[in-house]
């Protein structure tokens, strides 16, 4: 009888290391906050640790997405599947994103976190709102669509724009289909390149605790835990709403698809904690691609749904967009009737598609939304600057969870994986990095 492999010591488990790093970062940030005296040592000096780790991850995201999508789509025997999967994906994204926006709208009307704030807009810094409003102009529908087309093939990789990389990958996959007998050699080379980039990721992810420590120390040191004041009600309402959305809405979707949302959350706990520490869902993208393939989802489906979701399926961002907009209206005593709120909802449905998975993008989309809703002063965005970093973690985690669920659901629609196989893989728990499949390899379906 074969003996079981030796158990990994708890202190060598990645998610445990990240948890410890986050806790240490909170402690350091609390006891060494930013002060007016620059000679004092401050926790914000640890921010380069977080920035460096995020850059390391972003460095390999574009080539990993490219290799995964090209290999998956070029290996499809039926090109009709590409259009079918893409159509189902966009339909799912639009339905679930709209549900998220509506939930945010309902909750903020019930809780009314901004009532009684009575903010005098004249006392706020107008430059903050103006700066974000200027950036928001680039989020117009025309600019957004044009931005999907890179200026050159390599420009998409240099900027790390996921939608541009996705477009190039789809075009490359179609071109490979036209190569005939020469295609398998190119596909094999791309598969090998994908293995190389996932190997790099395996090394980079080992320093995740350092990045999480630096990010959390900076956040707490710069903004503090006790200086949130009246904004705590908005924060609490948003966290509870996001939790409701994950457990109830995504939970029901997962149940229909044949798996438990809580087992799924346990399966991606490393990625969730990584996002918690860095406030960026992009840092978990390579790991999510591997884990979704391990569940049995086809590489082509994973490569299409996950990157597209980073611009079209931002559930957490959608919830916060409507909540934040109505909070600012309540805080500045700006009356919004049902017609205005429905207009806000329609605008948010469009502007939210321009956000990405990186920290700060959600703030710009809120500026774009406020710019077309009459009455809410753009200067009121200054109220949210101090807490935006704390909200960013929850937004990014909700976005991450939603994109993973979307991948499994679309894969189930395509008959790529059975509920029995999903439950078996989730019950077995997440694989170690060494055990995860590489580009083009998916776990067999029972």
Contact 327, 366 (CB under 8 A): no
Residue-level pLDDT at 347: 72
User: Could you tell me the residue ranges of all domains in the chain?
Assistant: 13-29+45-433
Q: Give pLDDT tens digits for 255-276.
A: 999 999 999 999 999 899 888 8
- Please tell me which residue, 52 or 77, carries the higher pLDDT value: 52
pLDDT confidence of residue 434? 43
pLDDT on residue 441: 47
pLDDT in tens, 287-330: 898 899 889 998 888 888 888 887 777 888 888 888 888 888 88
Q: What's the whole-model pTM score?
A: 0.74
Is the pLDDT assigned to residue 66 strictly greater than 60?
Answer: yes
Encode pLDDT of 149-208 as tens digits. Answer: 888 888 888 887 777 888 898 899 888 888 888 888 888 898 899 888 888 888 888 888
| Local confidence band at 342 (pLDDT 50, 70, 90 cut-offs) | confident
The rounded distance, in Å, linking the Cα atoms of 330 and 117 is: 8
Instruction: Please check the confidence at residue 227 and state whether its pLDDT lies above 50.
Output: no
13-29+45-433, superfamily in CATH? Sodium:dicarboxylate symporter (1.10.3860.10)
Q: Quick one: pLDDT at residue 2?
A: 46
Q: What is the predicted pLDDT for the residue at 367?
A: 64
């Amino acid at each position: 009888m074969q003996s079981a492999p030796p158990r990994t010591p708890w202190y060598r488990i990645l998610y445990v290391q990240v948890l410890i790093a986050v806790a240490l970062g909170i402690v350091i940030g609390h006891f060494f906050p930013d002060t007016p005296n620059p000679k004092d040592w401050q926790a914000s000096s640890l921010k380069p640790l977080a920035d460096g780790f995020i850059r390391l991850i972003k460095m390999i995201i574009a080539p990993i997405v490219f290799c995964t999508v090209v290999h998956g789509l070029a290996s499809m025997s039926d090109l009709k599947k590409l259009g079918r999967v893409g159509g189902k994906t966009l339909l799912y994204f639009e339905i679930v994103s709209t549900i998220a926006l509506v939930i945010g709208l309902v909750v903020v009307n019930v809780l009314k976190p901004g009532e009684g704030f009575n903010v005098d807009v004249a006392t706020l810094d107008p430059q903050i709102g103006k700066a974000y409003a200027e950036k928001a102009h680039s989020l117009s529908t025309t600019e957004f669509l044009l931005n999907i087309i890179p200026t050159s093939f390599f420009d998409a990789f240099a900027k790390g724009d996921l939608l541009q990389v996705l477009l190039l990958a789809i075009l490359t996959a179609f071109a490979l289909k036209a190569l005939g007998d020469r295609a398998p050699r190119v596909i094999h080379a791309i598969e090998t390149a994908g293995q190389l980039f996932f190997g790099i990721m395996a090394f980079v992810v080992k320093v995740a605790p350092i990045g999480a420590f630096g990010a959390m120390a900076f956040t707490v040191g710069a903004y503090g835990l006790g200086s949130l004041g009246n904004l705590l009600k908005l924060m609490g309402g948003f966290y509870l709403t996001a939790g409701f959305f994950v457990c109830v809405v995504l939970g029901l979707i997962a149940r229909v698809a044949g798996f438990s949302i809580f087992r799924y959350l346990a399966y991606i706990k490393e990625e969730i904690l990584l996002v918690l520490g860095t406030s960026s869902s992009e840092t978990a993208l390579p790991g999510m691609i591997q884990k979704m393939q391990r569940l049995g989802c086809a590489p082509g489906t994973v490569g299409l749904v996950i990157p597209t979701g980073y611009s079209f399926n931002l559930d957490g961002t959608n919830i916060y967009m409507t909540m934040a907009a109505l909070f600012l209206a309540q805080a500045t005593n700006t009356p919004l009737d049902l017609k205005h709120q429905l207009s806000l909802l329609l605008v948010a449905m469009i502007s939210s598609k321009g956000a990405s998975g990186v920290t700060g993008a959600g703030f710009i989309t809120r500026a774009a939304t406020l710019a077309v809703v009459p009455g809410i002063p753009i200067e009121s965005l200054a109220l949210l600057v101090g807490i935006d970093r704390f909200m960013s973690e929850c937004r990014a985690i909700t976005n991450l969870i939603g994109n993973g669920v979307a991948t499994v659901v679309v894969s189930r629609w395509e008959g790529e994986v059975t509920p029995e196989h999903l439950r078996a893989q989730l019950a077995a728990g997440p694989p170690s990095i060494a055990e995860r499949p590489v580009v083009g390899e998916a776990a067999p379906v029972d």
